[in-house]
Structures are given as structure tokens and as C-alpha cells.
Chain A
Amino acid sequence: MVGALVSVVPLAQGDGFFRERDEADCVQSNDTVCLDWALDNADRYVSPTLEHLLLVGVSVAAGLVIALGLSVLSHRRRWLMPAFLATTGVIYTIPSIALFLLLLPISGRGTTTALIALTLYTLQIIYRNIVTGLANVPDAAKDAGRGMGMTDRQLFWRVEMPLAVPEIIAGLRIATVSTVAIATLAVFAGAGGLGDVIYTEGVQAGVFKTAIVVGSAIAIAMAIAFDVVYIGAQRLLSPWRQVRPV
């Protein structure tokens, strides 16, 4: 596939007419991925990509804020924790496409519905990781903190939360990467994003291979990029984990 493309490219160099015709042919025949056409029409992928980034960014940020709120609540009232875990777990079990559609009669078509559904998904992952992170804080550190006169609030924000940071970032990482993938289905809630490229411009437009491949490639590249950013953030925000005994 790639070989065929490369052999076409030198011929097309410097000749606008042929180049356009080659591209048009390629799109017309739909035998392979029309990389030249895609590059020339790169601007048509900009707004779906930005929409996608917005969906992911807002829903992960909202998920983090809400999950932190839930964890503060369930830290004070322990009996809330199983309830929160069960509720977020049930929502997470509902296939995303179904959740998008179930919300349609309630919040209508569009970005709002997509954001609600995606946020609900991130909630389960992030909240579960915060809970795990807090549970893994060594009892001795908590006892020592309390014994030195930290109030519950000081203990929570100065000792427990910082020590849970690696788990929380691990949760954000999973949530973000998953959301990049799931957000392609936001097209079924009419919220655009890269799903629009893959589904509307690809599958529905007579299985246009170029759109399917480009849309998928951008989504996967976005997921990998986020993953790399999180690995860096993890290092930066938990320096005590990087040390080795001397």
C-alpha cells in the first residue's frame, strides 16, 4: 500500500494538474489510502481533532474534580465508599454507545450529552484509583501524622493525598487514554470529534478508506501522546518514587 503511494509521489511533484488528478483518482477509486489527498485536505481534520481534544480534556478534568469531591466525602463517611464504587462501576459497565443514546432524551443531541457520558466513564477509573491510592498510604505514616498533631484535614491534604498522587496519575492516564478511544463514539450523540471522520466521512460515505485510516491514526496518536505526557508527569510529581536506596 505504502509502496504504491511512494511510486506515485515523484511523478506528481511539481505538476499541480497531474497531482490533483492523481489525488482525485485515488479518492475516486478508493483502493488505498490517499495520503496526498489527506495532506492537502489536512484542514478538514483540524476541527474534528480539536473537538476530540475538547471532549477528552473537559471530561477527564471534570471526572477528576468530581472524583476528588467523592473521595473527600467518602473519606469522611466511610459507608459512602462502597456505594460510590458500585454506582460508578454500574455506569462503567454500560457500553458507551448505549450510554450516549440513553442520555439523548434527557440532555439532547450534542456536546453536552457526550461530555456527561464521557465524564461518567472517567469517574469510575479515577475514583477507584484515588480510593486505592488512599488505601495504600502506610498506616504508620498516618499514625505518625496524627500523633504529631495533624488535624484530619491536614493529614488528608499533606500526607494521604500526596502519597496517593502516583495512583491518581495512573488513573488519569488510563482514563485519558480510554476516553480518547471511547470519544470516537460521541459521533452517535452528535458531538463530532474523530468519530465523525471515521464514521460519517468513512464508513457511511461508502467506506472511504482514507477517512477511516486518518481518523483512526489521529485518535491512536493522540492516545499515545497523552500516555507519554502522563509518564513524564508521574516522574515529575512523585520524586520520592524515583530514588533508589544508597
Chain B
Amino acid sequence: MSVSAFNPQASVFDSFSGAVDFIFSPRDEVGVGGEVGGLGQVAEFLWTHVWISALALAVAVALTLPIGVYLGHRGSGELLAVAIGNAGRAIPELALIALMIAFVGVGVLNVTIALLILGIPPILTNAFVGIRQVDRDAVEAARGVGMTEFEVIARVELPLAVPTIMGGVRTAAIAIIATATIAPLAGVLTLGDFILNFNVYGDDGLLAGAILVALLALVVELLLAGLQRLLTPRGVMLQREAARAAA
């Protein structure tokens, strides 16, 4: 395979400063002609990486969340929810993309579908578990004061399940971003191109790609953690803090 052997003489510091340099300033291609690297190309790949991930995540949430919440509310389909969650962990992302390339084909649409499939298991499982774990007394009390089933879900179960549901969304987001890294295999040029096309970008590009992907994942995780805080009702937050303090 065409991955770098990494120059053993180069110091760790040199490697990383080379990668940082690759991000900020364009340079000549390792092979023949053209320029690679630099903020322009980084921005282009980053944008593709972000929008295809965001699209896949949004569709996965839109398709899966209602099903998970409904199953959790009904308390049925536990085996299904758990089995899909387990299957999601067992299927290697590399295998998913490779199988797609081999039997479905390449291209933006296929990649988006593969990514959103990858996002489904954690969202479904966490939505199911989150709703299921809501204090049954609170649900009974809600019915007792005359809420309809829809109101029970919207006003009691969903708010109380926010932390668990968002945990699933975060896991899905990270899995999608990670897998989008190998999307260039299927012809979609994300940040992973720096990693996979070593012949073009060289050692510095490879490491730069790794740094960018890692940063992107961390930033998205932080943003979603912030979103989770915003969505979590204050009472639930206080309850969790109290439980933590007690432990």
C-alpha cells in the first residue's frame, strides 16, 4: 500500500511542524506539477467533510429519532433496538465503505447513505433507552393530570431523556465524521484525501489530514455537548449534579 514509511530520522516536532506548515501554505505536489495544501484546499475539503457529515446526521436523526422515541414510549421493540445498536458496533466502517464501493457504487449520494446508516444504531438505541429510563412515576403523574399520549412524550419523556438522546446523537456524529474520512475512496473529497492519497500530499499532508480530522471531531463534540446543555432542562441538570455529588 502507498502509505508513508515515515522518515525515521525526522523528529516528532519536525513532523508536526511540517504538517502545520502544510495546512497554512500551499506547496508543490510530490508527484508532477500542481500545488497542494494551504488554507484554500483545506477549506474546500473541510467544507465537503462538514456538509456531507451534517446532511447524513440530520437525515439519520430525522428518520431514527421518532422511531426510537415511539418504541421507547410503547416499551416494545427492545430486542430490535438493542440488536441494531450491537450490530452498529460490530460492522467495521472500512468494511461498510468498501462493500458500498464494490456492490453499490461511488458518489456523493451513496456515501451519504452509507454515513447515515452508520449513524442510525446509536441514535435509535439511545432514544429507546433514554425514553424507557424516564421515571415511570413521572409518566403516570403526567397521565394522571390528563395529558394525552403525545403530550406525555413531548412534555415529560423527551425533556427528561435529552441527555441520553443527545449522547446517541454525539456518538453518531463522531462515527459519521470518522467514516467520512475514508469517503475519498468513493470519490468524495473530504479531509481524508490528505490521508489516503499519500502519493499526492506526502508525509506532511498525511499528518495534516489526521490533525484536521481530529480537531473537527473534537470541535463537533464540544458544540454538541453545548447543545445538550442548552436542551437539558435545568431540573434534570440539578438532579444529575446532586447524584454526582452524592457518589
Contacts and interface: CB of A to CB of B under 8 A. Distances in A.
Interface of A: 90, 93-102, 104-106, 108-109, 135, 174, 177-178, 180-182, 184-185, 187-188, 190, 194-195, 198-200, 202-204, 207, 209, 212-213, 215-216, 219-220, 223-224, 227
A181 B247 contact: no
B5 interface: yes
29 contacts: A93-B221, A95-B177, A96-B178, A97-B178, A97-B182, A97-B195, A97-B210, A98-B217, A104-B15, A104-B206, A105-B6, A105-B16, A106-B12, A108-B6, A109-B6, A178-B89, A181-B91, A181-B95, A185-B93, A185-B94, A190-B3, A199-B94, A200-B1, A207-B98, A212-B102, A213-B99, A216-B92, A216-B98, A219-B92
Interface of B: 1-6, 8, 10, 12, 15-16, 86, 89-95, 98-99, 101-103, 174, 177-178, 181-182, 185, 192, 195, 206-207, 209-211, 213-214, 217-218, 221, 247
B56 to A, nearest CB: 15
A181 B179 CA distance: 12
The secondary-structure label for the interface of chain B is: helix
Contacts of A187: 1, 94
A101 B206 contact: yes
Contact of B207 (A105, A109, A194, A216): A105
A187 B213 CA distance: 18
A223 B185 CA distance: 25
Given A95-B214, A98-B178, A99-B210, 18 more contacts: A95-B177, A96-B178, A97-B195, A98-B195, A98-B211, A100-B210, A104-B6, A105-B6, A105-B10, A180-B90, A181-B93, A184-B94, A202-B102, A215-B95, A215-B98, A216-B98, A223-B89, A223-B90
A95 B181 contact: yes
Given A95-B174, A95-B177, A102 B92 contact: no
Contacts of A98: 178, 181, 195, 209-211, 213-214, 217
A90 B218 contact: yes
Contacts of A207: 98, 101-102
